[in-house]
Structure 1
Amino acid sequence: MAQTPREWEASGLAQGNAEEYGERQNPNRFLPLWQKGFPGPHQLEAHRDTAWRTMKPLAMAPVTQALPLACLLLLLLGSAPGADAQAVQGFQLHQPQKEVSVMAGETLTLICTVTGGGPLGPVKWLKGWGSGSETIYDQKGSSSRVTRAVNESNTDFTILIRDVRPEDAGTYYCVKFRKTASDDVELYQRGEGTEVVVVVVQDEDEDKEEEEEHGSCNLHAGKWRSPCEDTRWSVERVQEGFAEPHQLEAHQAAPWRTMKPLAMAPVTQALPLACLLLLLLGSAPGADAQAGQGFELHQPQKISVMPGETLTLSCTVTEGGPLGPVKWLKIWGSGNETIYDQKDPSSRGMRAVNDSSTDFTILIKDVHPKDAGTYYCVKFRKTATGDELYRRGNGTVVLVQARPSNPTLTRPKYRVQPGKKASFTCKTWGFFPSDINVKWYKDKTLIQPQLPNVTPGPSKFTYNMSSTVTVTLQKDDIRSELTCQVLHTTLTAPLTRSYHLRQILRVPPSKVVVQPLGPVGLNETVSFTCYVQGFYPGSVTVTWLENGKEIKTASTPRPIETPEGLFELRSTVVVQAVPEKNISVFTCRAVHEGQDPLSSSATLWVDASGQQGCSSGGAHLLSSPGLWLCMLLDKAILGLVLFFLFKRWQA
């Protein structure tokens, strides 16, 4: 007995009308109805009180009696063993999104995954194709708006475009390039392209004005995106799947689900036999396994995300799988947790591409530390008793962690002299988890600091750390270096910050010396020299005083650095030996780094007697060349006499 349209709804056909996107575009979705007992020829008339009251009947012209044989041949060829084995092996590039709609200001997710086996060369995202194409993402650098969803993956090249603008509308291509012998790159393989529609939200008044001017099909961002387009799309797909003649009628202002049903004319009596053969072959043991031989599921292996950010878990599948939902599970086994379920809108995961039947990427907002774990993208198959596991990914390990900032070093405000202690503090912040290690080195020698102080940071789930070390400075620390080294689980190499101790060390002059002079002759020119030795840094001020009054005739060159890294300086003042300067005191005063001055003095003795000669005991002769010559002759004569006497004594 033939079923009425109301019985269609009870038998699940109306429910099939709300299946996934990929199932809706299959015109053969009406076959299960025929397989359940509809004889041909038959005619269908919609009931106004049913879910199909907005649909008109489907009309099909008579089909030749060869239809059963054609159906049988198509089914046998499509399910023949080895059909999937002829698929291309090696490198594959999957760009599953045919069309994506995104609101202006939101984040656009463009999915692209590749398999192993490809040649060396980068993967890029291009907007448009041909001479006018624009590079949106390049592994060597891209716009700050465009980022990788999985930075460390060599198979997942999904990108995120933040703050979408109307000019971002267009067709995007994921492209694999191959390096050539000349170190250039050439095209190797590209995806089929993803058409991006940017929807601009307008005020109600503006929408009404546009609707009056253009009708119910509004133009947004340079592309028609309206119920009219959805209806036209549905009509085109039905035209591709049904033989002529046929009649199609759709409501212009309604979505595709309100399309009036296709009215079918009587079909030849051979149709029931064809449908029966299809039913028997389709339900034969192993048919579902053969249909899913080409099914593939891809998900990345590892992702690192910071607390508070949005986690993107990528999962793409190919066509050809059995009917059934795709879910995301955290952990595998008895303790797993469902993160995303197509039937449960309250699940924490959100679809990145809602209308896709191949892209099941999800977003988890405001990530917490407890979100760390392994996530599995799982395909289920519908059975008579419920959903059963069909295929699952290898799992994506999610690490919720934050890298510590580059460390900073703080030191005392003032310089420290040798023998004194100085404290240094190393700080870093914004890291997670809280376990962190700090090491201090003086040159290459490990020194023991105080225990590090770890405190909660200003942002959620991050931490700050400070570590202090105290060092007793020495004079030879001028060439020493103090280093803070930070180690954390997020780092492949320690973060370091070094400090040269000479920047905090001050070595005062070891001594200030003015060489004394004996009595000098009247009107002679006398030089007093001051030596300032062993100081650091090299800034020192030298002042000469005569009897306590500053004089300006001194000559002070720049300090000279010694091999030890210290400095020394020599300053000279020239004086005329006049009677008025007799017994004058000349003082050299050195001031280093604003510290207390160091000084040394010498007295000028002027001989005003004017006497000269070898035997003269006058003070003037002591400073004359003649005196020194007489003294040398006396010594020579005395030496000869002593030598003569020594020889005679030996004889």
Structure 2
Amino acid sequence: MVASLGDHGRHTLPPVMPTPTRLAHSSPRSWLLALLLVLWGASEQSKAGKWQVLQPEGPMLVAEGETLLLRCTVVGSCTDGMIKWVKVSNQDQQEIYNFKHGFFPGVMPMIQKTLEPLNCDYSIYIHNVTAKHAGSYHCVRLDGLNEHSGKKLDEGTSVLVKRAGDPEPDLWIIQPQELVLATTGDTVFLNCTVLGDGPPGPIRWFRGAGLSREAIYNFRGISYPNVTAVRASNNDFSILLHGISTEHSGTYYCVKFQRKPNRQYLSGQGTRLRVKAKHTSLQESEFTNERAAKVFPSGLLSVLTLVVLGLKAVTLAAVLLALAAHRRNP
């Protein structure tokens, strides 16, 4: 850029970079809003990367004509349009339910929202089970871009179907409770009945599914805190959970293992436990108020109030004196 300086000659000045007017004149509130939007976007991307589909490994045994309950919990999202169920049998894949659209006769969603805001239950019922329902069932999370795309079908719940003419199986695991509601501090009864013997091996309780499931109880003499066995009969493998809290919410499975080879043999359908926090009673509220009064007595609070008001008065007086002095000596 060249500027004219009259008789003193012409000088070349360095180029001046253009000033982004919008950013220069934007208010701090706009900057804060932009920062919040950036952080929110990063948070959403982080959440998307933490999604996880949890379902029991099985196998589960069901008789023809009965209703099959397939459990699935998605951690990290409650978007119904992103979940579907796929059945795999003899290398064939069949979509049996889609939470986004479609009509699927004989299939009904359980739809039990959990207390945790980022955990959702996408379990389904299959009514009037027949032999054709045997296979592996996969709860699949879509990616939102392609309706037919999803994660690799490497995990699922294996289902065995007993037909009318088949011999009786060597083992049945019955968990009649589908959903149990409780309040913090309660003792919860989780029912499990095992009919038959099956191969040698222990029966265990777990909370959750997949690699992250938590061992709750083992009937081989291993003790766990706040958990006791009922053992009302030789077939009774029910347990009691004492003094529960909201952290005990989840799905509990009664599972039979076989010793050789050491693997899971058969699983119950699972029992969903939802724990609600107990509301504060009137006595607890009064006790809390009493403790607050002891910490901040009314006399001390009054003194603090007077001190604050006094400081405000001193500040106002100093401002008035400064204004008066400025008028006298402009």
TM category (shorter chain) comes to 0.3 to 0.5
TM-score by length of 1: 0.22
Specify which structure has the higher proportion of helix: 2
The alignment's TM-score, normalised by the length of structure 2, stands at: 0.40
